[in-house]
Structure 1
Amino acid sequence: MTRTTSAVARALERIERLDPALHAFIEVWPETALAREREAVTRRLPLGGLPFAVKGPSGIRSYAARRLIAAGGIPVGATSVPGPGTHWQTWGQGAQGRTVNPWRADRTPGGSSAGSAVAVAAGMAELATGSDGAGSVRIPAAWCGVFGLRTTNGLLPSPDRSGLASAGVLARSAAAAEPYLRHVLAGRHDLDGRDVLDGYEPPAAWSLPLPLPAVYSEDLGFADVDPEVAAVVGGAVDRLVAAGTVRLLDRPAGLLVSAGAWTAVRGGAPDDLDAVRVRRTNDERLDVVLADGALLLTPVTPNRPHGHEGPGTVYSTALTWAFNLSGHPAASLPAGFTGDGCPVGLQLVAARGADLELLAAARAVEDALPAAPAPPLPGRR
């Protein structure tokens, strides 16, 4: 392996060429990355120099980043997060300006893992770390047309005192995200105290029996979903059923609106009476929906990527933050595009602690859907 042909060298070349227009990075570490790559190859570490990006200025110190580095992953830079005063947390501020959506520069990539999603979508990193407190991995994954997964609450150290945020990963596909789960979750234990990776085998040998039992909800009983977004996700679900990948169950999937409860918990008032009521009710309903290994399928967001001026009165988090409150792992997969060229995400939710099963389900879903294309970047090669 040489500098001119290595994965890290290629990632650094793409960052240099593409990031001046995309603004996905706040820092890039070419010399350190190449030195680490040489060491990883020499020591024959498992990841062998896999280039990845970290979320925000503190991302290099995260538990996930440390585990990936120990396994031979190479951090190439830190990605953008929202700038000061951006209440909605749905964009990023790179070193050279506001982060743009690689599919449409006039739209936001989502956030707060904004730069991580753009870096992966543009091929500037094989995968990227993220964190998700209300949808901050899933929303940018959906809007940039990549895979994103937030882990079960408490499975990995939380970057948020409220415990709502969990670590996550963004990658071009569920298969590409597998190294993150395999190396970051090593030695972690599920809610019953069992090693998460006990009995784990590589993805090629590890799958779930099809069809997967699933419940589909367009709106979780309350969200005002853009009809075209709903049509794209509904079409993807129909394709999964026709392919024999999913078998839909007749279970009610209506939840209580989570905005007030999430705000109370995030604000340090987890014992707020309404928040306790909403969480208890939604937990009971989700126990029914997800019983016997079933998945819950929804759109990731009720809206398509909005402009850089902001989302107006629409909560992009309407369909995501319920699962931060409940603690369930959830993933976003590319489902298709709206007529104006904006990616749409399909959300998969699984039982608490079923992170590896969720990854296996996501791989099966990807196999049944059209391959997600790469964005039409200038000078792409």
Structure 2
Amino acid sequence: MLIPGEYLKGRGAQQNVANRFSAHSHEMRDDFLNHCNQEGDEPQNLKTLFIDTFPKTIVNKVESPDVGMGYSLNPYQGCEHGCVYCYARNSHEYWGYSAGLDFESRILVKRNAVRLLEQHFAKKSWKATPIVLSGNTDCYQPAERQHEITRDLLKTFLKFRHPVGIITKNALIQRDLDIIKELASYNLIHVNMSITSLEEKTRRLLEPRTASVKKRLETVQKLTDLGVPVRVMTAPIIPGINSHEILPLIKAAADHGASSVGYTVVRLNGAIGGIFEKWIRSAMPDRADKVLNQIAACHGGNLNDSQYGRRMKGSGEFANQIQSQMELGRKKYLNGREKPALNCELFEQYRPGQLALF
């Protein structure tokens, strides 16, 4: 049973927080916790539940001008990886769940994802442009091992010769190297591998159910060896936690074949601010105030900044230092490398209902 003040291992969030769209909220009272302790009961069910959903559409147009993608597709909502800083936590509130423990233990599975993607490709108005898997939640999170929706989606992208991007921090992507290799032969795929730290202790605390650092770097190398352009996302940079690792991270990415690196500065928008603060005071109590103050220094004195063009990189002295280190690392370790544009010319020959010309 979770005792107040005790760190909850294996999860990022340490509690459920109130849903801003709900008229009701609840709290764990001491008398209830004492009752559970006496009866030998758990005060909350932390076992992961998979919930089937059947949305009407699957491809999302990304309106935010500073995200770096035009369209995204998310086969799952919620993510068992449990990354405490994850911006996607807030989206779980739209489904009636908490951005806290619910986000990483109540996973919505989009059962009709492949059929919806085929329907999208069949639209006469659709012009091929890269669609990114995992614009919100990781398409290779643990649920994918059981449900294999991402694998089936990649088969669909290959069938219709449509360009696709992937963002993940899970080595499970290696399972699908057979499909990815064929996509790469047509220049139809880019992979973005998120590596936040080279220190396993930090990784386990920040991202409790993700692949190890070693497995992620191994994945970068294997993808590169297959001719797949890989961008390593050193994101987010969190002052006082992984900001000292910027240059070593870029070097490790380059040593394993990455073609480029990217980054964001952590911003704790919506419910994530409270979730992160609760987590760091439990997981890293000795540096909690320092980290929170330095994050705020990157966002004009707040834990979050929603201004487009500024929110991802931050502002101020700490943010400028991070940017300078990134620029130095790119010049030192990645000079001359580039990520080629994806091929958008083949799709018309393979569009659903269209006979291939050759």
Same fold flag (TM > 0.5): no
More strand, by proportion: 1
The alignment's TM-score, normalised by the length of structure 1, stands at 0.28
The alignment's TM-score, normalised by the length of structure 2, stands at 0.29
More helix, by proportion: 2
